[in-house]
Amino acid sequence: MKNSNVFFWSLVVALGGFLFGFDTAVISGAEKAIQQLWHLSAVEHGFTIAVALIGTVFGAIFGGIPSDKFGRRHTLIGIAVLYLVSAVGAAVTANWVLFMVFRFLGGLGVGASSVTAPLYISEVSPAAKRGRMVAMFQFNIVFGILTAYLSNYLLTGLGDNDWRWMLGVQAVPALAFFLLLFRVPESPRWLLGQGRVEEGRAIMHRISPATADAEVTTILTTNAADEAAGGESLFARQYRGPVLLAVLFAVFNQVSGINAIIYYAPRIFEMTGLGKGSALLSSAGIGLVNFLFTLLAMNFIDRFGRRKLMLIGSFGLIATLGLVARSFYSQDFSELNGLLVPVLLFVYIAFFAFSQGAVIWVFISEIFPNTVRAKGQALGSSTHWILAAVIAFAFPYFAEKLGGGHTFLFFCSMMVLQLIFVWRFMPETKGTSLEQLEKTLVIH
């Protein structure tokens, strides 16, 4: 088995995750300068920052269409172009509206990347290594976030236009992503689905020479059975199991409160009495913990399995969110207890990164048949991003009106439901071929 081929292809495609994380976080270093430059009101400023998230939702919803029509590889090349144009355009434009257009294009790239990159990696990876390979995408997201924060720090103070350098430096990894994609072949499963059998067979031989012919036969047989059953529509009766699993998984990912905590960590810490400097330092620590435990999860996801990681994570999230809620209800934020919430949220991030963070893109990319995998990945990804936007916009209002106790108790109760979902309904997918999973999950 030529794992070096698969590793290189997966590593290149996972660069889309690095750019995803970098693009999401880099705006934090530029947002104040942007507001001052164009004299933006609070509403205009908020929309300027949020426009990339809007692009992400659209990119996730429609990202499966070019993946099916033009192929995974060509779609990834298009995503690289979006990242490159967004980085250069946002860095050099003197026009506020054009700035928002370029940020929107970057958001489209993020959303489409969350569909196409895990999809491609899952389709080229052997079953025994698929979890680790796809989890590289999530690892690169958190690595991109950390790199953006470090880059912003290093570029601060270069002058009045330092924010332009912060945004423009993303062009370097975007160009590398674009060029390296020309050394990556098309997904063999997509080629076989298009009737390009010999091309697909040749790539399967590069992945696993000993089993390539047998796998090609299995894929072609499975695709023919899906088409005979009218399997072009994602919402056909036979796919309702994978559809329900993908939607629920994406919903639980966000009602854990993860984006509320990442986006508003300094505000949450200040609610417990920490000074602004300590709050910012604590939020930087969250990024580091997220990075380290995502790396740890990559090494266990194929050994323990997706379901076991999710069970461990669910118990940990319930415990930490429950204790945070209790702290806000008691309002005992003395010097020692004031550090309790930051410590609990560090532990919360560790459990999230070890479970939901690492598993979501792997699991959703595995559970759909070849004929509708791009559509299924788009459904899961768009559900994730729509809920992310809702939680991010709603959290400040509910935290103010209901208080920290009720808000974190809601997140805790959602994780109890997630535990029941994982315990009763989530199948294990480790070490099983995509076609064998289809026989288990799809109604024939």
Model confidence pLDDT, tens digit, residues 292-351: 999 999 989 999 999 999 999 999 999 999 998 998 888 766 555 557 888 888 899 999
Residue indicated by tokens 């693009």: 23
Which burial class, exposed, middle or buried, applies to 305 when counting CB atoms under 10 A from its CB (0-12, 13-18, 19+)?
middle
Question: Using CA atoms, how far apart are residues 371 and 303, in angstroms rounded to an integer?
Answer: 28
Residue indicated by tokens 């010097």: 335
Cβ atoms of residues 31 and 49 within 8 Å: yes
Q: Which of 61-75, 79-93, 96-110, 391-405 has the lowest mean pLDDT?
A: 391-405
Cβ atoms of residues 110 and 59 within 8 Å: yes
Q: Is residue 331 classed as helix, strand or coil in its secondary structure?
A: coil
Q: What is the mean pLDDT of the chain?
A: 87
**Domain 1-184 identical in fold to domain 232-444:** yes
Residue indicated by tokens 């300094």: 266
Q: Give the pair of three-digit tokens for residue 419.
A: 């535990």
pTM confidence score: 0.84
Q: Is residue 159 classed as helix, strand or coil in its secondary structure?
A: coil
Cβ atoms of residues 63 and 114 within 8 Å: yes
Q: According to the model, what pLDDT value does residue 82 have? A: 97
* DSSP annotation string for 222-288: HHHHHHHTTTTSTTSGGGHHHHHHHHHHHHHHHHTTHHHHHHHHHHHHHHTT--HHHHHHHHHHHHH
What mean pLDDT do residues 87-114 have?
94
Question: Using CA atoms, how far apart are residues 315 and 312, in angstroms rounded to an integer?
Answer: 6
Q: Is residue 86 classed as helix, strand or coil in its secondary structure?
A: helix
- Nearest partner of 61 among 387, 380, 391, judged by Cα: 380
Q: pLDDT grade, residue 33 (50/70/90)? A: confident
Q: pLDDT grade, residue 229 (50/70/90)? A: low
Q: pLDDT grade, residue 267 (50/70/90)? A: low
Q: According to the model, what pLDDT value does residue 1 have? A: 43
Cβ atoms of residues 147 and 22 within 8 Å: yes
Domain limits of the chain?
A: 1-184, 232-444
Q: pLDDT grade, residue 283 (50/70/90)? A: low
Fold for domain 1-184? Growth Hormone; Chain: A; (1.20.1250)
Burial string for 36-53 (b: 16+ CB within 10 Å, else e) reads ebeebeeeebeebbbbbb
- Nearest partner of 77 among 198, 189, 184, 170, judged by Cα: 184
Contacts for 416-419 with beta carbons within 8 Å, 24 or more apart? 416/318, 417/252, 418/252, 418/256, 418/310, 418/314, 418/317, 419/311, 419/314, 419/315, 419/318
CA distances from 74 to 65, 69, 71, 116, 136 (A): 12, 10, 6, 10, 21
CATH 3.40.50.970 is held by the domain 232-444: no
DSSP summary character for residue 128: G
**What is the residue type of 2?**
K
Burial string for 316-329 (b: 16+ CB within 10 Å, else e) reads bbbbbbbbbbbbbe
Cβ atoms of residues 302 and 430 within 8 Å: yes
* DSSP annotation string for 176-222: HHHHHGGGSPPPHHHHHHTT-HHHHHHHHHHH-TTTHHHHHHHHHHH
Sign of CA dihedral 349, 355, 360, 362: positive
Burial string for 417-432 (b: 16+ CB within 10 Å, else e) reads ebbebbeeebbebbeb
Q: According to the model, what pLDDT value does residue 217 have? A: 92
